[in-house]
Amino acid sequence: MRRTEWSFTQVASSYLNRDSMGVSTIACSCRPSLRETSAKDTLAAFWERHPEMRAPLEDWEQVAKAARWASIADVLATFSEAKALNRERVRFEIHGGDYRLIVAFNFRLSIAFVKFIGTHAESDRIDALTVSQF
């Protein structure tokens, strides 16, 4: 499926794109806010197994779509419990810290890639700098 960029009026819709490498992304508002996050199906599959995570993940996605992040510092200013892992990755504490979400950002292209989502204990067993669960 061809990757498409969405206009501001299309942000509220949930449209799954899959690029030529098979990476799933969700479109978000254009830069300076995030244009895409990866991927609604990834988050949805997780909250199907963990129903208590639906609202927190939908909240995160909504904030990410509306955000005007240009750097890791901007992300950390929005999510005080988040931790910068390097210049592109951030670990988010979700649902009171019981779950973690690791996201890689390409600020130049305004894209966020979900790299990992799991319990706190599961995240302790992975390398947050290299994990690419999805």
Per the structure, how many domains does the chain have?
1
- What pLDDT does 30 receive? 35
Whole-number pLDDT of residue 44: 86
Q: 31 vs 8, which has greater pLDDT?
A: 31
Sign of CA dihedral 16, 21, 131, 6: negative
Per the structure, the complete domain to which residue 39 belongs is given by 8-123
Of all residues in the chain, the percent with pLDDT exceeding 90 is 53
User: Is 132 a member of any domain?
Assistant: no
In a domain, 128, yes or no: no
pLDDT tens, position by position, 48-59: 999 999 999 999
CB-CB contact of 25 with 38 (8 Å):
yes
Q: Counting every residue, how long is the chain?
A: 134
For 98-124, write each residue's pLDDT tens digit. 999 999 999 998 888 999 999 999 999
Strand partners, 92: 101
In a domain, 129, yes or no: no
Report the half-sphere exposure of 75 (CA within 13 A, side-chain side): 29
pTM, two decimal places? 0.72
**130 found inside a domain:** no
Does residue 50 lie in a domain region? yes
